[in-house]
Homo-oligomer: A and B are copies of this chain.
Amino acid sequence: MQFQLTNDFIEQIERLIARNDRNMLRELLSEYHFADIAELLEELTSDEATYLVKLLETELTSEALMELDDDVREKILDRLSPHEIANELEGMDTDDAADIIAELDLDIQQKVIDKIKDEDHAADIVELLKYDEDTAGGLMAKELVSVKETWTIAGCVREMRRQAENVTRVHSIYVTDKEGRLKGRLSLKDLLTAPGKSHISDIYIPKVDYVTVHTESEEVARIMQKYDLEAIPVVDEGGVLVGRITIDDIVDFIKEEAEKDYQMAAGISSDVEADDSLLKLTRARLPWLLIGMFGGLGAASIISGFATIFTKYPNLLLFIPLIQATAGNVGVQSSAIVVQGLANDTLKGNMVRRLLKETVLALINGGSIAFVVLLLSHFIFETSYMESLSLGLALIAVIVLAALIGTFVPILLDKKGIDPAVATGPFITTSNDVFGILTYFLIAKLILGY
């Protein structure tokens, strides 16, 4: 049953486009789901994709456009006239249409809006454009079904039939007062199972979760997940119902956030995919490598500053990679746990207790590793007792230090309002590398007396 995009199919489509066989293409593609059409468009050249967008029903292509990668969509929109873009927008929900317009150049935006035939639709889109994209206002759509509390069920069903035509999925029916202020909700199920002649005010549920247009997207996602909501109404400062957010937008948001955190932890500074251009990939990757490079040069300065000690005890140099790798690994582990705790809002209790716990944990891990290394280094590398002691103590100290830096830095960033995820990956690894090596040599100097 599942659609599988094959090379044969892509080649067939390309041949038909080359032959300009419009009827055959329409016949072949009109039965597919928009998500499948989107997959196909991503595999074609921009000109071929644009050809199909112009050819197929807007009902299909408008939804497919929304599923495309930003870069692919941008290239197709560049090839469409304002009039053609406006046509695609007519078929979209207001939130999607507003997202598309926001991607266009400023001088094109107004031209496209002017070409939208449905004036209400255009007005709704313009309204949505004024909200910050990271807020509930930026996520919400204007499509919703609302009824007044004074209506009867019968009147309500009539009115709903009218409104529901514009709404793809009806999750809840929102109940407002005469001024449009949100009062409660009504499920379709209630409407179906309630006696026909009662009034809305008799059966609606006055308890309803909602957010305001200014609520941050992250908070909206948190609320919808916590309370297992499939849609949430959005009100303005006066409590007037102005839109709703559905769970599919939140699913996309959660995925994007998770990917962003993951990439940040891996030292990739902007959202890239394996198939992006070399330039885009280099721009995303080089900056973090340069930070690591400066860390490496810093470490080189530290080592060269301790030249006298390693001339006398060259064995110490063998364990630089061990110290560095351990510091890096511990730091990444600690910061990952804290970053996830902050993201899920599960990080309770006070800072001092957290750092104390992390220290105890680091002492357990550090003790275990130092013990194994002490044994092995002594027998394999024939280090002296004092060298082994320096190494063991340094390992414990480095692990404790790395754990504390890994725990403290994300919490601090979060308190300052900075995304704690930037503290993971190369940033924490690099600083731990440098501090780790410095600690190692300081302890060696202390014990070996140089």
Contacts and interface: CB of A to CB of B under 8 A. Distances in A.
Contact of A267 (B281, B293, B333): B333
Interface in A188-243: 188-189, 191-193, 209-210, 223, 225-228, 230
Contact of A265 (B225, B266, B301, B318): B266
A289 B170 contact: no
A319 interface: yes
A28 to B, nearest CB: 17
A323 interface: yes
Interface string A250-271: 1100110011011101111000
A322 B340 contact: no
B340 A321 contact: no
B282 A426 contact: no
Contacts of A437: 321
A330 B429 CA distance: 13
A357 interface: yes
A300 interface: yes
Given A170-B189, A293-B369, A262 B336 contact: yes
Contacts of A188: 170, 188-189, 192
A282 B157 contact: no
A154 B62 CA distance: 36
Given A33-B227, A255-B258, A263 B380 contact: no
Given A266-B332, A319-B300, A321-B300, A192 B160 contact: yes
Given A251-B254, A263-B336, A318-B304, A278 B364 contact: yes
Interface residues of A, number: 116
Interface string A363-393: 0110011001100110011000000000000
Interface stretch (A75-83, A136-144, A346-354): A346-354
B333 A318 contact: no
Contact of A303 (B164, B292, B317): B317
A123 interface: no
B325 A263 contact: no
A86 B333 CA distance: 40
A155 interface: no
A47 B190 CA distance: 38
Contacts of A161: 192-193
Contacts of A335: 266
The majority secondary structure among interface residues of chain A is helix
Interface in A315-348: 317-326, 328-330, 332-333, 335-338, 340-341, 344, 346-348
A337 B274 contact: yes
A148 interface: no
A55 interface: no
A1 interface: yes
A425 B254 contact: no
A211 to B, nearest CB: 9
A2 interface: yes
A293 to B, nearest CB: 5
A22 to B, nearest CB: 24
Given A278-B361, A340-B263, A325 B292 contact: yes
A149 interface: no
A169 interface: yes
B296 A325 contact: yes
A341 B272 CA distance: 10
Given A266-B265, A318-B300, A169 B230 contact: yes
B346 A433 contact: no
Contact of A337 (B272, B289, B323, B347): B272
A268 B337 contact: yes
Interface of A: 1-2, 33, 35, 43, 157, 160-161, 164-165, 167, 169-170, 187-189, 191-193, 209-210, 223, 225-228, 230, 247-248, 250-251, 254-255, 258-259, 261-263, 265-268, 272-275, 278, 281-282, 285-286, 288-290, 292-293, 295-297, 299-301, 303-304, 307, 310-311, 314, 317-326, 328-330, 332-333, 335-338, 340-341, 344, 346-349, 354, 357, 360-361, 364-365, 368-369, 372-373, 376-377, 380-381, 399, 424-426, 429-430, 433, 437
